[in-house]
Structure 1
Amino acid sequence: MQTYCLLLYAKKTKGNSEMSAIYLRITIDGKRKEISTGKTIKTTEWNSKAGKVFGNSSHAKSFNSFLESLRAKMFESYNYLLNNRKIITCECLKNRFLGIDERKVTLVEAFQDHNNQIKELIGRGFAHGTWERYETSLRHTQQFMMWKYNISDIDVKEINPAFISDYEFFLRTVRNCANNSAVKYIKNFQKIINICLDNEWIIKNPFATYKSKIVITDVRFLTENELEKIKNKVFSTDRLRTIRDIFLFCCFTGLAYSDVKKLANENISINANGEKWIKIKRTKTKVEASIPILPIANEILERYKANVKCVNDEKVLPVLSNQKMNEYLKEIATLCGLDFDISFHTARHTFATTVTLNNGVPLETVSKMLGHSNVQMTQHYAKIQDRKIGDDMNLLKKVLTKKSKIKEIKKTAVNYS
C-alpha cells in the first residue's frame, strides 16, 4: 500500500540564521520532493512540532491560514490523482499542485536520449559497437510496436509485462533471433525501463516477474589441421591474402577485433632478451594484455611495415571494418573447405584453445594474454581437446607405472632379505 506524508518545515536562510524559509516536503513511498512556499519568518517564530507559527497575533493567524490553504491544496491534488487512477509520485503530485501539465515521456524519446548520450561518450567509457547495438535495439523496438500495435511510439507508462512478453516473442519469431540474441536485446530494453523507473516516469516495474537466461554455447575454434589449411592456402587476390594474414595474426596473439584495429607501433615493445611483446589495454575490459609475439605473428607484422594504409593510419595492420572482415572470412572458410563459418572471434578462441592451452600453456597465463579480469572468463574461451587429455593421461600412466615398478622392486628386495 502506498504511503503519503506532507510536512511543513523551516530551513534557515543562508547568511542569516535568524530568518528561515518555509518549505513543503512531500514523501511518497520513502521518496521526497520539496517545494518552497516563498515565505520567510523569524526562526524563533516557528513551531516545528505543529508545523506552524507560534502565537495568536494577527500576523501568526494570517500566516497559519496561508499554510493550511497549502495543506488543503496538496490534499486536493493528491485526491485528484488518486480518484482519476493516475500514477502518484512526488513529481506528479508536485506538478499537479503547481499547475504544471504532466510531462508525457515516450519510449522512443527515452531510448533515443539514452543512445545520444552513449554516442557522445564513445571513446570516453563506451565503444562505438555499444552505441551501434543500442541503435539496433531501438530499431527492433520500433518494428515491434508497428507489428503489434500499429504505432510508432508509446507512453512509457503504458508498458506492462505483456508488452515485454510480446516483444520477446517478436524477437524470437519475426526477427528469428536465437535465445542469447533475444535475451541481449531484452536486456538493452530493460536498461531504458530502469532509466524511466529512476526518473519516476514509470512506477511499476514491468520487468518485476520477467526471467531470462543466457545459454552458454560452445564456440567453434580451429584445430591445428584447419589452421594449417588457412595458413597454406594460396589465394588469387590481395584482398583475401590480407584478411587471412590479419586473421592468422589474431590466431597467434589472441587479440579481439577492436584491439587489433587500434594496434600501433607504440603497443609493441622489446624486452631485455630482444623479444617482441604486445602491451595493450583491452577496449572491452580495460585490462592490460601482455602477449609475446610468436614468429608467425612477427612475420605478418614485417610484411605490412610499408603498407600504405598502415603508414597513413599509423597502425601495424590494414584492418577493415568488422562487417567486411567477417564477410571475407566466410569466403575464406568456403575456399579452405571448412564445414563452418569463421568470424574474427574464432581467432581469439583458436588462440586460447589450439595455440596455447592444448600446447601446455597454463590457464592463468592464457588469461593474462587474453586480458581477462579473471580466469572464469578464460574458461569460456579455452576448450581442452581430446588430444591434450590423452597426452596428459599418458603422462599420468607413465608416472603410475613407474611407481608400480618401484613398489615391485622394493617388495622383491624385502623377500630376498
Structure 2
Amino acid sequence: MARSSDSPVTYLLRDPKSKKSTPITCAIRFDNQRINIGIGFKVLPNHWNISKQRVKNVVDATDKDNINGYLERLENAVQEIFSELRSNLIPLTKEIVKQRIDAYLNPVAEAEKPKTLVDFVHWYIDTCPTRLVRGSKARTGRFISPDTIRRYKTTLNGLEAFAKIYPRPLLLDNIDAAFYKAFTAWLTAKDYATNNVSKYIENVKGFMSAAVDEGFTTNMAYRKFANLREDAENIYLTEVELGRIYDLDLSKNSRLEKVRDLFIFAAWTGLRFSDFSTLQPEHIKADENGNQYVDLRQRKTGGRVQIPIVHEAVTQLLEKYNKCLPAGISNQRTNDYLKEICQLAEINERILKHVTKGGKAVVKTSDGWGKTSPGVEKWTLVTTHTARRSFATNMFKRGMPTLLIMKLTGHKKESEFLKYIKIDTAETLDLMRQYLGPRSLTKMV
C-alpha cells in the first residue's frame, strides 16, 4: 500500500549501514515538533525499502508481513489521533501526542467485570471513597461517607456467609425472588430484628441498582424485593430527665462530664452525633443583634441548618468551653458512657420495648429478649441518637409547629420526621386535653 505524502509518520533504521538487523524507529513530526518512538522490530538494512519505508518482499525476510502490517496500523492510528485532537481543538504538544500514542501501543487490559454479587460489592466498596451518593436529591453531590461504607461491609459479611450455604452461585443474574426469600429466611433464622433484616435487603437492592447502572447486569428482579419494616419503639428523655442529667456533679470524672455535656448540647439543639461530636467554634455565629446560633452543614445529608442558641444549658456549655466543645469519642464508647451517666441520674423507669426478632414478637428484658418481661430500666436504652429524638419530641410537646422543628433538625420529609416523635399514651391524652379543653370564657352581652 502506497504511503500518503503528507503522513506525519516516517520509519527510519537506526543504523542503515549495519550488517546485522537494526531497530526500526518511528519519527512523528507535527507543528515543527518531533518525537521518536521505538516500535520493537528489527530488520536487515538490505531488506528495507527506503522509499516505501517497509520491509521488502524478499524470501529471506520471513516476518515481513507481520512487520509491515504493524507499521501500517501504527501509521493509521497516529493519523486518527491527530485528527481527533484537532477536531476537539486540543493543542498538539509533545506531551499530549506521546501520551496518546503510548496509550495505543500499551493498552491497559480491561479489568474483568464482577459476575457475582459478592465480587461486585467488593468492587463497589473499593470505589466508594470516590463515588457520589446515589438516590435522594438532598444527598446528591456528596461522596459516600465512612459510616455508610461500614454498613455496606456489614451487608457484605452477611452475603459472604450466606453464599457458603446457598445452593446456587450468587451470580448477578441469579439475584431473584428465590434468592430474596432464602436470604430473608436466613437472616430471620439468625434471630435478626425485622428492621435489621430490612437494612440488609435495602443495601442489596442498592448494590443491584448500581450493578445495572454500571452495565454489569440487566437483572431487574431486585425491584420487587419488599422491605418489611416495623415502627421502632425508641425512647426519648423528658425535659425533667434532661435536667437531672445536667445537674449531675461529674466534676471529678472528666470522662463522663465531657460526654454528658455533648449529649445535653445535642438534646437542646437536635444535632446528630456526627455533627455535635465535631462541632467547631466557626459553627457558632451571631446576628447583628448579638443573638447566637449554630450554623452548619449536616455531615449525613449535606443540608444546612441554623439553630438559635436560647436554652440556658446550651449557653452555659458554650461559655464553659469557650465555644470549643470537647472532641467526641467513638459512637460506641459514647453510648456506653451515656448509659453509665443516665444510671447515675436514676433514669430507671421500666420500659417495655417490643420488637420482632427471628419472626417472633418479643420484649426486651434485662437478660436479653424474651416473650414475657417486666421491661428494662430506661437508662439501658439511651444512645447518642436519644438526644436528637428528645429534642424533636420535647419541642413538639411545647407546641412548636412540625415544619418549624423540621427546619431545625434538617428533615426533608414529614413522614421521616414523625418517627422521631416519641410520646406515650398518657402524654398524648394530656396534649389532647390541652387542645380540646375550654379556653377563656367570654361573657355574652
Sort the TM-score into its range (normalised by shorter chain).
0.5 to 0.7
Task: Choose from 144, 152, 173 the match for 1:157.
Answer: 173
Q: Which amino acid counterpart does residue 285 of structure 2 have in structure 1?
A: S
Distance (Å, rounded) in 1 between the aligned partners of 2:224 and 2:207:
17
1:270-349 map, 5 Å: 270-293=286-309, 294-305=311-322, 316-337=325-346, 338=348, 339-340=377-378, 341-349=381-389
Q: Which amino acid counterpart does residue 303 of structure 1 have in structure 2?
A: K
SS at match of 2:241: helix
Q: Which amino acid counterpart does residue 225 of structure 1 have in structure 2?
A: V
Distance (Å, rounded) in 1 between the aligned partners of 2:341 and 2:182:
39
TM-score by length of 1: 0.63
1:366 counterpart = 2:366? no
* TM-superposed deviation, 1:396: 4.7
Greater helix proportion: 1
Task: Choose from 423, 431, 438 the match for 1:398.
Answer: 438
* TM-superposed deviation, 1:110: 0.6
Instruction: State the superposition RMSD in angstroms.
Output: 2.9
* Contact preservation (8 Å) 2:339, 2:383: yes
* TM-superposed deviation, 1:345: 0.7
* TM-superposed deviation, 1:190: 1.7
Residue in 1 aligned with 2:83?
none
C-alpha distance 298-196 of structure 1, shift in aligned 2 (>3 A): same
* TM-superposed deviation, 1:117: 1.8
SS at match of 1:402: coil
* TM-superposed deviation, 1:259: 1.3
> What does the per-residue CA deviation read over 1:47-92, in whole Å, with 9 as the maximum and x for residues that have no partner?
xxxxxxxxxxxxxxxxxxxxxxxxxxxxxxxxxxxxxxxxxxxxxx
* TM-superposed deviation, 1:199: 4.7
Equivalent residues, number = 293
1:239-278 map, 5 Å: 239-278=255-294
| Higher mean C-alpha deviation, range 379-388 or range 259-268 | 379-388
- Higher relative CO (Cα under 8 Å, sequence separation at least 6) belongs to 2
Q: Which runs of 4+ in 1 moved over 6 A?
A: none
Q: Which amino acid counterpart does residue 380 of structure 1 have in structure 2?
A: K
* Contact preservation (8 Å) 1:280, 1:288: yes
* Contact preservation (8 Å) 2:297, 2:305: yes
C-alpha distance 242-160 of structure 1, shift in aligned 2 (>3 A): same
Distance (Å, rounded) in 2 between the aligned partners of 1:137 and 1:184:
8
Q: Which amino acid counterpart does residue 297 of structure 2 have in structure 1?
A: K
SS at match of 1:398: coil
Residue in 2 aligned with 1:43?
none
SS at match of 2:198: helix
* Contact preservation (8 Å) 2:267, 2:390: yes
Unaligned ranges ≥5, structure 1: 1-99, 307-314, 411-417
Residue in 2 aligned with 1:377?
416
> What does the per-residue CA deviation read over 1:182-223, in whole Å, with 9 as the maximum and x for residues that have no partner?
111111112222233345544443435432332222421012
Distance (Å, rounded) in 1 between the aligned partners of 2:246 and 2:113:
61
Residue in 1 aligned with 2:144?
126
1:7-406 map, 5 Å: 105-121=115-131, 124-148=142-166, 154-174=170-190, 176-199=191-214, 201-207=216-222, 209-235=224-250, 236-293=252-309, 294-305=311-322, 316-337=325-346, 338=348, 339-340=377-378, 341-354=381-394, 356-383=395-422, 386-387=426-427, 390=430, 393-394=433-434, 396-399=436-439, 402=441, 405-406=443-444
Distance (Å, rounded) in 2 between the aligned partners of 1:188 and 1:144:
15
C-alpha distance 158-366 of structure 1, shift in aligned 2 (>3 A): closer
Distance (Å, rounded) in 2 between the aligned partners of 1:187 and 1:304:
41
* Contact preservation (8 Å) 1:108, 1:138: yes
C-alpha distance 372-160 of structure 1, shift in aligned 2 (>3 A): closer
> What does the per-residue CA deviation read over 1:294-339, in whole Å, with 9 as the maximum and x for residues that have no partner?
2211211222239xxxxxxxx5332112122112222223333332
* Contact preservation (8 Å) 2:258, 2:326: no
Quick one: percent identity of the two aligned structures? 27
Distance (Å, rounded) in 1 between the aligned partners of 2:129 and 2:261:
32
* TM-superposed deviation, 1:383: 4.1
